[in-house]
Amino acid sequence: CFEAGATELPNSGQTSCLIQHRANSSKTLLDTQDSVFSEQQWKCISQYGASVDAELPGFAQVLEKRRFGGIGNPTLEGSVVLGAGFGTTATRSLAAFGRQLGLQVHHCKQGKADGIPPFWAQLMNLTKSGHPGGPVGCLEASDALNFSEALSFGDDMLLDTPVAEHFLDLYAVSPRSKVILTDRDAEDWVKARLEWDESMAAPMHAPCGVKLAKMSADKAVRLYE
């Protein structure tokens, strides 16, 4: 899952892949791979891929080719808190709470180009706008990113877009991190998200420019669930 020379780390999580997924998906499309993910977590990722594939055919094939974490290396430190919940699920409140605790928080900075590190700017662009080369180009660009850079800016907590959309990549380089999943009713989330900004990405891993506004509300709800 990582570049040659990367150190594999054991992962104690055996009950969940820590991402939003439909629990009734039983079809498995992915094989267990050598990575920081446990066998149970890979099964969960596989089920997630199958559930999204039912809505967006071809997604699972893209997912199974991903090198989660890009060219980054996993770390034993695990001091960063990862937010697995999409934006508009009280992530602003969580960010405010983190700052009250004295934590340095990276919270969605879309539309604020000044002062954003190139890594975050590139990941945000891939998430919202995709890639000129289509899904294949986006896949290659994501695999070429060093997701370990996300841990190098002194942040204690990473939240919202594009963290949630690339949670698996960030968890792959920081498998000891604590994870907070913020959530809300799916139909309510879709409505609120579109009211906030119609350019928002669909609720899925690595949407690569797939827009929430370009799909039916029912499909968006199923993807979120």
Mean pLDDT of the chain: 84
Amino acid (one-letter) located at 21: H
**pLDDT tens per residue, range 82-109:** 999 999 999 999 999 999 999 999 998 7
The residue that leads in pLDDT, 225 or 4, is 225
Contacts of 128 (CB under 8 A, 6+ apart): 110, 161, 162, 199, 200, 201, 209
The residue that leads in pLDDT, 201 or 28, is 201
What's the pLDDT score for residue 148? 96
What's the pLDDT score for residue 131? 92
What's the pLDDT score for residue 208? 95
Termini Cα distance of the chain: 27
Is the pLDDT at 34 greater than 90? The verdict is no
What's the pLDDT score for residue 38? 87
Distance CA 167, CA 160 (A): 10
Mean pLDDT confidence for 5-20: 38
Percent of the chain surpassing pLDDT 90: 69
What's the pLDDT score for residue 65? 87
pLDDT band at 35 (very low <50, low <70, confident <90, very high): low
Quickly count: other Cβ atoms within 10 Å of residue 90's Cβ.
14
Quickly count: other Cβ atoms within 10 Å of residue 124's Cβ.
22
The pTM score is 0.84
Percent of the chain surpassing pLDDT 70: 82
pLDDT band at 32 (very low <50, low <70, confident <90, very high): very low
What's the pLDDT score for residue 7? 34
Reduced 3-state DSSP string for 44-105: HHHHHHHHHHHHCCCHHHHHHHCCCCECCCCCCCCCCEEECCCCCCCHHHHHHHHHHCCCCE
Q: What is the CA angle 150-88-49, rounded to 5?
A: 65
Is the pLDDT at 13 greater than 80? The verdict is no
Q: For the chain, what are the domain ranges?
A: 69-216
What's the pLDDT score for residue 18? 42
Amino acid (one-letter) located at 129: S
Is the pLDDT at 33 greater than 70? The verdict is no
- The CATH number that domain 69-216 falls under is 3.40.50
